[in-house]
Structure 1
Amino acid sequence: MAVGGRADPVLVTGAAGFIGHAVAHRLLERGERVIGVDIVNDYYDPALKEARLSMLSNRAGFTFERADIADAARIAQIVKQAGVKRIVHLAAQAGVRYSLENPFAYQRSNLQGHLSMLEASRHAVGFEHLVYASSSSVYGDKPMGGEGLGEDEAASSPASLYAATKRSGELMSHSYSHLYRFPQTGLRFFTVYGPWGRPDMAIFDFTRKILSGQPIEVYGGGRMARDFTYIDDVVDGVIGALYRPPGDGGHRVLNIGNSHPVGLMDMIRSLERALGREADKIMRPMQPGDVTATFADVSRLKALTGYRPRVMLEEGITRFVEWYQDFYRP
Structure 2
Amino acid sequence: MASVLVTGGAGFVGLNLLEALLGRGESVVAFGREEALPPAAATAFARLPGQLTLVQGDVMDASALKALFAAHRIDRIFPFAAITAGPAREASVPGAIIDVNLKGLIATLEAARDAGGVKRVVLPSSAAVYGEAAYDHALLDEATTPCVPISLYGVTKYAVERAGLRLAGQWGLDAVAARIGATFGPWERDTGVRDTLSPHLAIATAAREGREAVLPATVHGYDWVYVRDLAAGLLALMEAEAPAHRVFNLASGRDWAPHLDGCCAEMARALPGFRWRRAAAGETPGITFPEIRPRGVMHIGRARGLGWAPRFAPEAAYADYAAWIAAA
Distance (Å, rounded) in 1 between the aligned partners of 2:99 and 2:261: 34
For the 8 Å contact 2:32–2:81, the answer to whether it is kept is yes
Query: Aligned in 2, Cα 1:144/1:234: closer, same or farther, shift over 3 Å?
Result: farther
Distance (Å, rounded) in 2 between the aligned partners of 1:108 and 1:53: 29
Query: Aligned in 2, Cα 1:224/1:69: closer, same or farther, shift over 3 Å?
Result: farther
For the 8 Å contact 2:27–2:52, the answer to whether it is kept is yes
Query: Aligned in 2, Cα 1:72/1:155: closer, same or farther, shift over 3 Å?
Result: farther
- How much has 1:239 moved relative to structure 2? 1.0
- How much has 1:274 moved relative to structure 2? 2.2
For the 8 Å contact 1:12–1:88, the answer to whether it is kept is yes
Find 2:200's aligned residue among 186, 198, 203: 203
Identity of aligned residues (%): 23
Find 1:295's aligned residue among 297, 302, 314: 297
Q: Does 1:19 align with 2:13?
A: yes
Please report the RMSD computed on the Cα atoms of aligned residues, expressed in angstroms: 3.1
Match of 2:76 in 1: 86
Query: Aligned in 2, Cα 1:37/1:212: closer, same or farther, shift over 3 Å?
Result: same
Distance (Å, rounded) in 1 between the aligned partners of 2:39 and 2:160: 27
Q: Tell me the TM-score normalised to structure 2 length.
A: 0.81
Distance (Å, rounded) in 1 between the aligned partners of 2:177 and 2:293: 21
Query: Aligned in 2, Cα 1:270/1:58: closer, same or farther, shift over 3 Å?
Result: closer
Partner SS state of residue 58, structure 2: coil
> Counterpart amino acid of 1:113?
G
Unaligned runs of 5+ in 2: 191-196, 269-273
Partner SS state of residue 246, structure 2: strand
Q: Does 1:262 align with 2:256?
A: yes
- How much has 1:112 moved relative to structure 2? 2.1
- How much has 1:72 moved relative to structure 2? 2.5
Partner SS state of residue 85, structure 1: strand
- Report matched runs for 1:166-185 at 5 Å: 166-185=157-176
> Counterpart amino acid of 1:63?
T
Query: Aligned in 2, Cα 1:230/1:215: closer, same or farther, shift over 3 Å?
Result: closer
Q: Deviations over 1:35-81 (max 9, x none)?
A: 1112239xxxx9x8343234334545211112222222212220232
> Counterpart amino acid of 1:205?
A
For the 8 Å contact 2:215–2:276, the answer to whether it is kept is no
> Counterpart amino acid of 1:322?
A
Q: Tell me the TM-score normalised to structure 1 length.
A: 0.81
Q: Deviations over 1:276-312 (max 9, x none)?
A: 412474259x999987425121111111x21111101
* Aligned residue pair count: 308
Match of 2:4 in 1: 10
For the 8 Å contact 1:131–1:185, the answer to whether it is kept is yes
Partner SS state of residue 53, structure 2: strand
For the 8 Å contact 2:75–2:120, the answer to whether it is kept is yes
Find 1:271's aligned residue among 264, 273, 276: 264
